[in-house]
Structure 1
Amino acid sequence: MKISLVLLSLALPFVTMLSAAGPAPYLDPAQPLDTRVADLVSRLTLEQKAALLNHKGPTVTVDDRPIRADQWNQCLNGVQWSQPTTLFPTCIAMAATWNTELVQNEIANTLSDEARAIYNGWHLDPKAKGEHKGLIYRAPVINIERNPYWGRNHEAFGEDPFLTGRMAVAYVKGLQGDDPRYLKLAATLKHYAVNNVEADRQKLNANVSERMLREYWLPHWRDAVVEGKACSLMASYNAINGTPDNINHWLLTDLLKNEWKHEGFVVSDLGGVRTMVEGHSAKKMTYVDAVALSVMAGCDFSDKEYEQNIPTAVREGKLTEARLNDALTRVLRVRFRLGEFDAFDAVPYSKIPLEVVNSPAHRAIALKAAQQSIVLLQNRDRLLPLDKTKLKRIAVLGPLADQVLANNYNGKLPAVVTALKGIKDRASPGTEILSSVGGILGGNMDEWHKTSAEPKLDLAAELAKAADLAKQADVALVFVGTNATIEQEARDRKSLGLAGNQEELVKAVFAANPRTIVVEMSAGPLTVPWIKQNVPALLQAWWPGEEGGHAIADVLFGDVNPAGRLPHTVYASEQQVPPQDEYDITKGFTYMYINGAPLYAFGHGLSYTTFAYSNLQLSAQQIPEDGTVTVSIDVQNTGKRAGDEVAQLYVHEVKPVVKRPAKELRGFQRVTLQPGEKRTLTFTVPAEKLAYWDESVHAFVVNPGAFDVLVGASSDDIRARAQITVAPAPTSLHGK
């Protein structure tokens, strides 16, 4: 008994000391972030470290505390969940708004609100709220739309690196929030880098010059990393110049982490290590070697192959524990900033309730986004807007008139308003709506899609029915385009034209009723010269989300004045497009280097009102090589109704020493103007945005000489121009 008392008396000071010491450093929010992360890493075994670098790995236990490895989800234009979430227009449609404030403060902010609400609901009641996949979200996709055939154009922000960069920064900031301590979500940029072809994507090699990488394929990534502060990037399947991205030390470490100072982590694409073994190396590489090479190159996070092979790679000396610890530190730093290791209520986003998910307020934002994305491509004889009070019968025709259009990275679908339903909802009471499918998208067409279904319609009868309904109607609306069987991951389009009998349908309807309006519902560009030449009015409505049908009707009936602008070039013919395996855009890709006139130009979009540009002013006629010029211009609504104009600023080097773009976008502003209203818009252009990449010195260089400053309504509708001179000599602007 005395011995027990003595032992107890000796132990009490130790227990008291432990109690006074408080929680372990990694659980103490008062400690600096790096101290907390380092403390947790120090407590992990080699096997636990490997498990936490498997994004679908098991839960590990540290000091009786479970730590999940599975912490990721998708939210491209809708949060993936077991219950319906808000479905926004697809990302190419977001880009068509040319409205970064909308993308950041409304669309991406709504996505992150819903993701946090789902996380909060799971935390409070894990069994009742569906599957939880954490707060690291694999969005946005910022691969550039160089290839109009690319099956994933619907996920991108267009063909231009400047526009893509602005959209990427806005989207990332909206997802991650603005709290100085806590992240709302962690954004993952996909797919880094030069990922633009789906065919053989798991073993494809992109041959790209140093100049093309720096000028075209990488600037928007830098914007999203340096300015947007994106937490992570996904390494793509393809190789660049013979080195797979997953083991490309220059791409993942030298450029991203050293030059751009990225403090987050890199994750492989799903099966990224497997593609190294099965695809790029044709099974000549072992999994241990593939894992070691990936981690050492800078790929911090991956699949089960990391958990299974990292311990062996370390023990065999192929992977240093220092690099392993750095990889884990980068991943955990993000998870700490998400608040995972703090008290739930300490995180400001913990109060977002489940009731916000697909709420009326969020549906209203989806409607606004769809309205702002719609592009009026042509409007001869001012057929649009339609006066719905004068329409007794409206023919709503086409295979996409009543089809829900979504991709494979949105959540469970909410109640989606199709075009047909939207027109029925918005038409005047008593107006008769005549509808027919009229045709099919693909049918038994192997040249379109190897899994196409056999035709199930009598096409001749459907065409005849559609033409008959068009003849009876005051106006015929034809909805054509693509869906996710034509534009999707792992498959590229085989044609830029309309699939199936859709063009035949348009011709039949137009022959029956010259008051025909075509509405394109697609992601990638559609080359439709016959429609442009013959049909009076054409809208591009994209895949417009859950309120898309209402948005389309609002534009058709004039309740909304369209102001979307094309984020890509619509080529006049397929012969105008260089081969898909050509990565040098100077050979004829995009508005910057296109050979000949496009069908519709980058930045194009009409309005129901008119705008005038005047009084272009430069803050200086000459600037130094590291200077900045401020450009101002007056834009006035000269029509009779309010509308939005998207003023676009381009630059062009007058006498370049290398082949330079015909124009390069360097600024844009979307502005709402009342009838007669005039506003002065201001743009800032630093000299570094006039630079080109000089491969002889491996740096951006600004040449002395003249540069055109062009402002207008699109890349081929320049309304005002001036000239600025850069003096006196080239300068190196490393990393710009």
Structure 2
Amino acid sequence: MRIMFHACSVLKATLLISLMGVAAGNTLMAQTADKPLYLDYTKPVDARVKDLISRMTLEEKAQYLNHVGPEIPRFGIKSDRWNQALHGVVWTRPTTMFPVSIAMAATWDTKLVYKEATAISDEARAIYNGWHQDPDFKGEKKGLIYRTPVINISRNPYWGRINECFGEDPFLTGRIGVAHVTGLQGNDPKYLKLVSTLKHYAVNNVETNRTSRSATVSERMLHEFWLPHFKDCIVEGGAQSIMASYNAINGVPNNINHMMLTDILKNRWGFKGFVVSDLGGVNTMVNGHEKGKMSYEEAVAQSINAGCDFSDKEFMQYIPVAVNKGLLTEAKLNESLARVMRDRFLLGEFDPQEMVPYSKIPVSVIGNAEHVALSLKAAQESMVLLTNKNHILPLNKDKIKTIAVIGPHADLFTAGGYSGRPIDAINPMQGIKNRMAPGTEIMYAAGAEITPPRRNQPAFDKAAELAKAVDAAKKADVAILYIGTTLDIEAEGRDRTSLELPGNQEELVKAVLAVNPRTIVVLMNAGPLTIPYVKENAPAILEAWWPGEQGGNAIADVLFGNVNPGGKMPLTVYASAEQVPSQDEYDVTKGFTYMYINGKPLFPFGHGLSYTTFSYSNLKLSAKQIGAGGLLTVTVDVKNTGKVAGDEVVQLYIHDVSPSLKRPAEELRGFDRVSLQPGETKKVTLKLPGSKLAFYDEKIHDFRVEPEMIDVLVGSSSADIRLKSQFRVTAAK
């Protein structure tokens, strides 16, 4: 009886639990039915995107594809209102400001670039979290689509936006670019931290007439020089957005260039993100490239049909018109909509914030001590010692009683393009004060001007200021000259007209050197400066770029020996303007960059000195021959043979011994920045895949590897090769 009773009890309990389960299941089904699929974070993103699109009207779709369009309240959609973060988040309140992009490229340190981009994206997410979590949040409310990095190549040394890019070499730009993109977008397997928008796709590096200019480029040059770094950042870096540039390529504006936006980008490279026009991109069709030939609805339709997914108010205004006129199908429109929407789902915008790991980043990270310290380290690593005659640097600050701090940049802070507001901007003068020995006297004089004073600014008395500088230099134990350019000389919309020092700065250099042989020249610029007199006569030259909010401290650290400079030039400094082909010449084999330069440069690509010395030995290749799909491992021992610790950037170049067509004299294919104590030796290992030996063959419209001998060149710069070897590429069987 007890057993039967127990069995009945179990049966009743099981039945009760079963009924409760059915009831719970019915409740869950009811909840799921009430919640649209696009809000169900357990479902695949593509299904959620498709569901949301199916619920939108044509007008709402058009609004969504305006990057500064209105909110769509019934779906909880806020306008993203994209932002900038080239070297720090642009915001109405201070954020950490790092060195400009060209300076970060001069570090040749991909790990550091990744850390910098991670810090920037932390601050960007913190701003986003702040206004989501605090109703009294102060400061501008920004979204999560960021238009960075600029990965155009500085083929044209006059280009005004060199401060925004990573130099003249596609390989270096690709490595730095991938590090920057991955740092921005994060490493969570489900969510994006930010969306990184690559700029400006492609063949864009002339500001003059940029909205109507057409670049004439061969198929080979396009794929071999102008696109590899974009491919790296898309395929390897996973960038989720890319910007179509203003210019045309071979007569076809990039905003409506199907070959560029769809055939190459989406079909060949498998790009899953979205293409956005540059600001006013549609307008440049109607009133620029295609003036008088194209209506707004035609420009909008052609842009979307070519592969441009996201744009300005013209998309919102004319998409419905284009669809109703049959110029654009709604199916094609939905493709663009899905690309943009997919990224915003991946950012976690439609999910509960507690589901998104990046929602936990607090506002307190903005400008915190760790980020400011990272900005200082980035500036220190970016410094490039160009010359150092008789080892005049580093200066022994304990033996210096008087310092003449001279030059238009001495008491000036230059942030750079697309800059936010720094936490604590340290200019060169303040940096010297922060690092000099107690009791040292500083004498200051501007000495020269970079550009004439603007309206309502006091007049600059050149003669009087020059006399002040000379007098200070005469009295000082050492003179430090801070010279260069500003955004008044090189910036977006403004190409340089000369490669020389602007204003009367060279006159200042000559006058100061004449009275004080212990004069250090510090260059603060972005694009290369052709300064043969300064190189010949100045005891030492330090390239400091526009080095961010901690730049003044970083420069002083290098001058006084607190830091050993280890940066390398990411571009060629030409010996003269005559050495540079026309800015309208897009075939780099005609004399552009270190790969094809005619004659010797003033300072070569990859150049940078140190306060110590390094020896190279024991170069080994893993094989004497490889196939086109093979991998060669290159190892070399590098030793610090000096008396102080220092960083060396080991650079690997290749050269085709007997190519069938004109190939580079040298081509960068690997590098590694290593830190070495005095007497320390490290083995550096660099990988050289067969795919990096390929050139573009216009006959087959693709890359191919030619069976031949390849020189392996390892050294400290493109002009300072320490060790050489060879291997053979074998023909495919």
TM-score tier by shorter-chain length is over 0.9
SS in 2 for 1:679: strand
- Amino acid of the residue matched to residue 308 of structure 1? Q
CA separation in 1, counterparts of 2:550 and 2:46?
Answer: 45
CA separation in 2, counterparts of 1:33 and 1:286?
Answer: 36
- Amino acid of the residue matched to residue 51 of structure 1? Q
The answer on whether the counterparts of 1:57 and 1:307 sit within 8 Å (CA) in structure 2 is yes
CA separation in 2, counterparts of 1:190 and 1:622?
Answer: 38
Q: Could you tell me which of 551, 556, 559 is aligned with 1:553?
A: 556
| Cα shift readout 1:25-60 (whole Å, capped 9, x = no counterpart) | 100011111111110011000000000000011111
Q: In the alignment, is residue 205 of structure 1 matched against residue 208 of structure 2?
A: no
Q: Could you tell me which of 324, 333, 344 is aligned with 1:335?
A: 344
- Amino acid of the residue matched to residue 421 of structure 1? Q
The answer on whether the counterparts of 2:80 and 2:144 sit within 8 Å (CA) in structure 1 is no
CA separation in 2, counterparts of 1:465 and 1:552?
Answer: 23
CA separation in 1, counterparts of 2:135 and 2:311?
Answer: 26
1:469 maps to which residue?
472
Q: In the alignment, is residue 83 of structure 1 matched against residue 86 of structure 2?
A: no
Change (3 A) 1:722 1:452: farther
- Amino acid of the residue matched to residue 77 of structure 1? H
Q: In the alignment, is residue 509 of structure 1 matched against residue 522 of structure 2?
A: no
Q: What pairs with 1:107-506 in structure 2 (closer than 5 Å)?
A: 107-443=116-452, 456-506=459-509
Q: What pairs with 1:531-550 in structure 2 (closer than 5 Å)?
A: 531-550=534-553
1:10 maps to which residue?
none
1:684 maps to which residue?
687
CA RMSD of aligned residues (A): 1.4
- Amino acid of the residue matched to residue 599 of structure 1? L
Q: In the alignment, is residue 26 of structure 1 matched against residue 38 of structure 2?
A: yes
1:328 Cα deviation after fit: 0.5
The answer on whether the counterparts of 1:399 and 1:439 sit within 8 Å (CA) in structure 2 is yes
SS in 1 for 2:380: helix
1:675 maps to which residue?
678
Moved more, 112-121 or 128-137: 128-137
- Amino acid of the residue matched to residue 601 of structure 1? P
| Cα shift readout 1:516-556 (whole Å, capped 9, x = no counterpart) | 00000000001000000011100000000000000000000
The answer on whether the counterparts of 2:415 and 2:549 sit within 8 Å (CA) in structure 1 is no
The answer on whether the counterparts of 2:202 and 2:226 sit within 8 Å (CA) in structure 1 is yes
CA separation in 1, counterparts of 2:456 and 2:526?
Answer: 22
Q: In the alignment, is residue 524 of structure 1 matched against residue 533 of structure 2?
A: no
| Cα shift readout 1:178-207 (whole Å, capped 9, x = no counterpart) | 000011111000000001100000000000
Q: Could you tell me which of 639, 642, 645 is aligned with 2:648?
A: 645
1:587 maps to which residue?
590
1:20 Cα deviation after fit: 5.1
CA separation in 1, counterparts of 2:140 and 2:26?
Answer: 43
Q: What pairs with 1:646-665 in structure 2 (closer than 5 Å)?
A: 646-665=649-668
SS in 2 for 1:67: coil
CA separation in 2, counterparts of 1:167 and 1:453?
Answer: 42
Change (3 A) 1:25 1:514: same
- Amino acid of the residue matched to residue 100 of structure 1? T
| Cα shift readout 1:150-194 (whole Å, capped 9, x = no counterpart) | 000000000000000001100000000000001111100000000
1:410 Cα deviation after fit: 1.7
1:21 Cα deviation after fit: 2.8
1:726 maps to which residue?
729
1:61 Cα deviation after fit: 2.9
- Amino acid of the residue matched to residue 622 of structure 2? S
SS in 2 for 1:685: strand
CA separation in 2, counterparts of 1:727 and 1:216?
Answer: 25
CA separation in 2, counterparts of 1:623 and 1:102?
Answer: 33
SS in 2 for 1:261: coil
Change (3 A) 1:475 1:309: same
CA separation in 2, counterparts of 1:619 and 1:18?
Answer: 64
CA separation in 2, counterparts of 1:126 and 1:484?
Answer: 37
1:22 Cα deviation after fit: 5.0
The answer on whether the counterparts of 1:480 and 1:519 sit within 8 Å (CA) in structure 2 is yes
| Cα shift readout 1:432-454 (whole Å, capped 9, x = no counterpart) | 0111111100227xxxxxx8998
1:474 Cα deviation after fit: 0.6
The TM-score, its normalising length taken from structure 2, stands at 0.95
User: Unaligned regions of 5+ residues in structure 2, if any?
Assistant: 1-24
1:406 Cα deviation after fit: 1.3
CA separation in 2, counterparts of 1:498 and 1:306?
Answer: 44
- Amino acid of the residue matched to residue 107 of structure 1? E
Q: In the alignment, is residue 573 of structure 1 matched against residue 583 of structure 2?
A: no
1:89 Cα deviation after fit: 0.1
1:70 Cα deviation after fit: 3.0
The answer on whether the counterparts of 2:127 and 2:142 sit within 8 Å (CA) in structure 1 is no
CA separation in 1, counterparts of 2:731 and 2:554?
Answer: 52
SS in 2 for 1:256: helix
Change (3 A) 1:455 1:660: farther
The answer on whether the counterparts of 1:51 and 1:69 sit within 8 Å (CA) in structure 2 is no
The answer on whether the counterparts of 2:185 and 2:194 sit within 8 Å (CA) in structure 1 is yes
Moved more, 703-712 or 399-408: 399-408
1:127 Cα deviation after fit: 4.5
SS in 1 for 2:73: strand
SS in 2 for 1:433: strand
The answer on whether the counterparts of 2:163 and 2:417 sit within 8 Å (CA) in structure 1 is no
1:670 Cα deviation after fit: 0.1
CA separation in 2, counterparts of 1:22 and 1:628?
Answer: 56
Taking every aligned residue pair, what percent have the same amino acid on both sides? 62
Q: Could you tell me which of 709, 713, 717 is aligned with 2:712?
A: 709
SS in 2 for 1:72: coil
CA separation in 2, counterparts of 1:697 and 1:36?
Answer: 41
CA separation in 1, counterparts of 2:576 and 2:455?
Answer: 25
CA separation in 2, counterparts of 1:555 and 1:537?
Answer: 12
SS in 2 for 1:181: coil
The TM-score, its normalising length taken from structure 1, stands at 0.95
- Amino acid of the residue matched to residue 678 of structure 1? T
- Amino acid of the residue matched to residue 55 of structure 2? R
| Cα shift readout 1:277-319 (whole Å, capped 9, x = no counterpart) | 1110123210000000000000000000000000011111111
Moved more, 564-573 or 127-136: 127-136
SS in 2 for 1:708: strand
1:674 Cα deviation after fit: 0.5
Q: Could you tell me which of 608, 613, 616 is aligned with 1:613?
A: 616
CA separation in 2, counterparts of 1:326 and 1:435?
Answer: 61
SS in 1 for 2:340: helix
1:15 Cα deviation after fit: 9.5
Q: In the alignment, is residue 52 of structure 1 matched against residue 61 of structure 2?
A: no
1:631 maps to which residue?
634
- Amino acid of the residue matched to residue 182 of structure 2? K
2:104 maps to which residue?
94
1:36 maps to which residue?
48
1:129 Cα deviation after fit: 2.2
How many residues align? The count is 709
Change (3 A) 1:452 1:720: farther
CA separation in 2, counterparts of 1:688 and 1:453?
Answer: 58
Change (3 A) 1:613 1:25: same
CA separation in 2, counterparts of 1:17 and 1:205?
Answer: 58
1:609 Cα deviation after fit: 0.1
1:87 Cα deviation after fit: 0.6
Q: In the alignment, is residue 67 of structure 1 matched against residue 77 of structure 2?
A: yes
The answer on whether the counterparts of 1:52 and 1:68 sit within 8 Å (CA) in structure 2 is no
